[in-house]
Amino acid sequence: MGKLNNYRVFVVIGVIALCIILAFVIRSLFTTREIAASVSPLDIEIGQPIIYNDSTKGANAWLWEFGNGDESTSQQGKYTFAETGRYQIRLKVDNKQEKKFVINVRAKQNDEEEQLVHIEAPKTAMQGEYIIFRGEGPSKEWRWEFGETGIVDSREKSAIYKYELPGNYEVLLSTEETQYPVRHQIEILPQYTEDESTDVESLIGNDIKEKLQNIIDQKPFNKNYNYVLSTYLCNNPNTLVVVNNNKKNDFYSYCQGLKIIGRKKTTIDNVIIELDPLNDACIQKLIVVQYDN
């Protein structure tokens, strides 16, 4: 009788052990591991290195393919492209999963080439729309007059402004490199009614604005953060965020900051997007206007 009971105990233990092994195997087969890798910067001049890194949980083997025949099996490192062009970097983790990044390598700008200060801005915009004005050239000082207030409106190289009234305006940009202001004509059109608004970039900006405000309001962080990251930023957490035209962060650090300041009352007033010129499915920069109540 004692031997029979011992036999039954061994059988039960064996069945339990088998179940644990089967559960582990099934979990290993059906659990999807997300690659946690980054490459930065994504837009560089020739001779400037990129930094690549992977921190995928449980990874043991890496293969970085740089799109030109060169490879690396290191988990992280630096790489410098020898020629200009657009390259697709592919990372294979444990020879099972992969992730891709697109790098643009530009020719070096000739510092000796004479450059004129000029304005990059649209020629038409909507009443109440946030407009980005960029000053380009060798200057270090920038003074913008947008023609509506009669005063200097900004002293930043890149400025954000919205016109309260429709009409034709002359924008003036003064610098220490120019004898007279650089001029730009812009027409501000009357604001459309809500039903007529079909601007895709504005819709995207409003969608991102809502998700960022959700983070501030202490709603689920991962849900809102991952939505913007995967839907608009091509899963690049290093996407540049410019806040109120002067502060800068990568997207991940910016969102973590919003999560922390959530105890205070901060309002996201507007989000302007800049698409990647090499891949218009990805946003390369977010310009955020926010204020504390």
- 189 and 202 assigned to the same domain: no
Banded model confidence at residue 214, pLDDT cuts 50, 70, 90 = very high
pLDDT of 2 above 80: no
Strand order in the sheet with 97-106: 43-45, 97-106, 85-93, 62-65, 71-72
Across 240-255, average pLDDT:
89
pLDDT of 113 above 70: no
- 92 and 65 assigned to the same domain: yes
- 162 and 204 assigned to the same domain: no
The last residue of a domain, from among 170, 194, 218: 194
| Helix or strand (DSSP H, E) at 27 | helix 2-30
- 125 and 76 assigned to the same domain: no
- 270 and 219 assigned to the same domain: yes
Which range is most confident: 10-19, 20-29, 121-130, 168-177? 168-177
1 in any annotated domain:
no
Nearest-angstrom CA–CA distance, 82 and 71: 14
pLDDT of 277 above 90: no
The predicted structure's pLDDT at residue 30:
44
- 44 and 76 assigned to the same domain: yes
Banded model confidence at residue 116, pLDDT cuts 50, 70, 90 = confident
| Helix or strand (DSSP H, E) at 158 | strand 158-161
What is the domain range of residue 151?
A: 118-194
Please tell me the number of Cα atoms within 13 Å of 111 on its side-chain side: 1
Q: Which of 81, 95, 154 is nearest to 121 (CA)?
A: 154
Across 202-215, average pLDDT:
91
- 208 and 280 assigned to the same domain: yes
Banded model confidence at residue 112, pLDDT cuts 50, 70, 90 = very low
Q: pTM (2 decimals)?
A: 0.44
